[in-house]
């Protein structure tokens, strides 16, 4: 399979290594230094694109692929205000677009555990909930996309939380998310339900980027031939 890499930083390099090990070829590797080569990405040169760039580039990359009939796997966060436009474009082009805030199998199991725990805690209002996420110092958006997905899962299942807020704890109905940027941390997410007598904590710690990258390549292998806007629930059948 011919894979285009849109975004060729540390994650892009890890994806490239795994893709080649699994028998694929890289049709294009595009970053800020050769953005003009995006025009060369088409269904003639590329079977699927994997997009791990940055928030300011993601929408342009996604739009180009959909308009050129290239199925796209996207893991870039911080651009989701444009997701409704992407959904409309995907429908118009009858294309395939796959988005996940995190491609790790472990994280997606963690998402489900988070939802189950939040639902259970409706019967125990003496517990309040907060979240902490830690990432490497190069990450440009905060909170992380993974933290936002966790927050959405809590808000959907815990009746007394209606929104989330970043790095503060001011509104009773808002879930506080505390973001830290430290060294080269791949990603650590902790959800804590705290009462006056004890804490209940669930935590996911990534040891490297390998799990994220492998998941993205596996999705890229699965996506060609599919239609519509898809996510990890479709892929994992959770």
79-133 pLDDT tens trace: 999 999 999 999 999 999 999 988 998 999 999 999 999 999 999 999 999 999 9
The one catalytic residue in 82, 136, 139, 226 is: 139
Quickly state the pLDDT bin for 237 (edges 50, 70, 90). Answer: confident
The one catalytic residue in 135, 161, 189, 204 is: 135
* 135 is annotated as an active-site residue: yes
What share of the chain has pLDDT > 70, as a percent? Answer: 100
Tokens of residue 50, six digits: 């994997």
Residue 220 contacts by C-beta under 8 Å, 6 or more apart in sequence?
A: 1, 3, 19, 48, 50, 73
* 203 is annotated as an active-site residue: no
Helical spans, DSSP H, in 48-159:
55-67, 83-93, 105-120, 145-157
Q: Are the C-beta atoms of 154 and 175 separated by less than 8 Å?
A: yes
Q: Is pTM beyond 0.75 here? A: yes
Which residues are paired to 228 by β-bridges?
Answer: 96
Quickly state the pLDDT bin for 140 (edges 50, 70, 90). Answer: confident
Cα–Cα distance measured from residue 28 to residue 41, given in angstroms and rounded to the nearest whole number: 7
Residue 238 above 80 pLDDT?
no
């Amino acid at each position: 399979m011919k894979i285009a890499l849109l975004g060729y930083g540390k994650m892009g390099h890890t994806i490239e290594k795994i893709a080649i090990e699994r028998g694929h070829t890289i049709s294009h590797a595009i970053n800020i230094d050769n953005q003009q080569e995006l025009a060369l990405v088409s269904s003639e040169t590329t079977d699927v694109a994997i997009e791990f760039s940055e928030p300011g580039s993601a929408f342009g990359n996604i739009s180009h692929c959909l308009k050129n009939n290239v199925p796209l796997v996207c893991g870039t966060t911080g651009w989701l205000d444009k997701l409704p436009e992407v959904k409309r474009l995907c429908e118009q082009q009858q294309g395939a677009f796959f988005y996940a805030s995190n491609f790790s199998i472990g994280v997606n199991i963690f998402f489900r555990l988070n939802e189950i725990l939040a639902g259970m805690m409706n019967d125990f209002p003496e517990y309040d909930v907060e979240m902490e996420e830690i990432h490497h110092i190069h990450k440009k958006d905060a909170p992380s996309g993974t933290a936002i997905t966790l927050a959405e899962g809590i808000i959907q299942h815990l009746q007394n939380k209606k929104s989330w807020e970043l790095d503060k704890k001011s509104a009773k109905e808002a879930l506080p998310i505390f973001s830290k940027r430290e060294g080269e941390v791949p990603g650590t997410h902790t959800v804590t339900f705290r009462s006056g007598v004890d804490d209940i904590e669930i935590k996911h710690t990534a040891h490297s980027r390998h799990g994220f990258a492998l998941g993205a390549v596996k999705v890229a292998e699965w996506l060609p031939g599919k239609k519509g806007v898809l996510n990890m629930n479709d892929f994992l059948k959770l």
